[in-house]
């Protein structure tokens, strides 16, 4: 995959397509390499058995759909047999059993990052309200001090020190309002940074979807290859990290209150 002008470009789309002869030769070679050396594979019910030695390059290009389905059937059967004979069904079983846990953990990450983003947004809103109030009050005071300055400037009560203090106070109040604007701009940046939750959440959702499909396929494969009595229970590790689905379990607590209640019930 390459990138051009900010867009994802599929290199495969621009590569010259192989012609029919090339595809036929490639397909035949691949099948020949995987096929048993001499004995023909058993026929799938209702379909004719292939010739010994696999298809040759000259006939592969014109292979009828029945022939293709037959070959796929052979490969599937060979794969099932190999998995069973080599004992890989146990690995498959482990993989299948671990997928729901992986999904839960991803959902846990999504929930925690979402909660964190919400907390940041709440804090930004509160900080912005404080800024707005401070800015408003500063502007109000500045207006009043400006009136005082105008009054004292021409009067007998004016003193150099007092006039300077009024000017300085007015300048400070003005700068306070400007600083509040700067702070609000920073708060906007902090708020915008929380869009990571949306973006990472979408990725997590796709991975979870992929894991679900994978799990379904593994279950089907296991049904075909594993005798029921050989299935084993997954051992639960002693330390499993944060609990990602406390509501579905009775052996864990869901929050600190649960911890405190449990300790209190034990007399601590």
Partner 1 sequence: MTTEPRFLIVDDFSTMRRIVRNLLKEIGFANAEEAEDGVAALNLLKSSKFDFVVSDINMPNMDGFALLKSVRADENLKGIPFLMVTAEAKKEDIVNAAQNGANGYIVKPFTKATLEEKVQKIMQKLG
Q: By the criterion CB under 8 A, which residues form the site for partner 1? A: 6-8, 114, 117-118, 121, 125, 188, 191-192, 194-199, 201-202
Shortest Å distance, C-beta 213 to partner 1: 17
CA atoms of 37 and 54, how far apart (whole Å): 9
Shortest Å distance, C-beta 8 to partner 1: 7
Shortest Å distance, C-beta 113 to partner 1: 9
Contacts of 205 (CB under 8 A, 6+ apart): 110
CA atoms of 84 and 226, how far apart (whole Å): 7
In the complex with partner 1, which residue's Cβ is closer, 189 or 235? Answer: 189
Nearest residue to 110 (alpha-carbon basis) of 245, 259, 237: 245
Contacts of 103 (CB under 8 A, 6+ apart): 208, 211, 212
In the complex with partner 1, which residue's Cβ is closer, 113 or 245? Answer: 113
Which residue shows structure tokens 């509501």? 247
In the complex with partner 1, which residue's Cβ is closer, 120 or 141? Answer: 120
**CB-CB contact of 118 with 184 (8 Å):** no
CA atoms of 30 and 34, how far apart (whole Å): 7
Nearest residue to 237 (alpha-carbon basis) of 94, 91, 93, 106: 94
Shortest Å distance, C-beta 179 to partner 1: 18
SS3 240: coil
In the complex with partner 1, which residue's Cβ is closer, 199 or 223? Answer: 199
In the complex with partner 1, which residue's Cβ is closer, 84 or 128? Answer: 128
In the complex with partner 1, which residue's Cβ is closer, 188 or 230? Answer: 188
CA atoms of 15 and 86, how far apart (whole Å): 40
Shortest Å distance, C-beta 111 to partner 1: 12
Shortest Å distance, C-beta 191 to partner 1: 6
């Amino acid at each position: 995959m390459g990138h051009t002008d900010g867009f994802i470009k599929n290199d495969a789309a621009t590569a010259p397509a192989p012609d029919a002869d090339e595809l036929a030769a490639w397909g035949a070679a691949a099948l020949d390499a995987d096929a048993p050396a001499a004995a023909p594979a058993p026929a799938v019910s209702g379909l004719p058995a292939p010739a010994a030695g696999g298809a040759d390059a000259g006939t592969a290009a014109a292979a009828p759909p029945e022939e293709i389905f037959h070959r796929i059937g052979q490969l599937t059967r060979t794969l099932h047999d190999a998995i069973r004979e080599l004992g890989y069904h146990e690995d498959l079983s482990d993989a299948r059993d671990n997928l729901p846990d992986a999904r839960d953990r991803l959902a846990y990450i999504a929930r925690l990052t979402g909660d964190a983003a919400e907390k940041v947004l709440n804090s930004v809103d509160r900080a912005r309200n404080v800024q707005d109030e401070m800015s408003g009050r500063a502007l109000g005071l500045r207006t009043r001090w400006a009136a005082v300055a105008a009054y004292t400037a021409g009067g007998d009560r004016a003193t150099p020190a007092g006039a300077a203090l009024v000017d300085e106070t007015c300048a400070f109040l003005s700068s306070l309002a400007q600083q509040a604007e700067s702070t609000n701009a920073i708060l906007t940046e902090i708020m915008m940074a929380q869009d990571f939750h949306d973006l990472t959440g979408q990725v997590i959702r796709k991975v979870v979807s992929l894991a679900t499909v994978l799990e379904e396929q593994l279950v089907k494969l296991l049904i075909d290859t594993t005798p029921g009595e050989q299935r084993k229970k997954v051992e639960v590790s002693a330390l499993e990290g944060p609990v990602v689905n406390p509501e579905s379990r009775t052996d864990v607590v869901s929050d600190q209150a649960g911890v405190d209640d449990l300790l209190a019930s034990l007399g601590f």
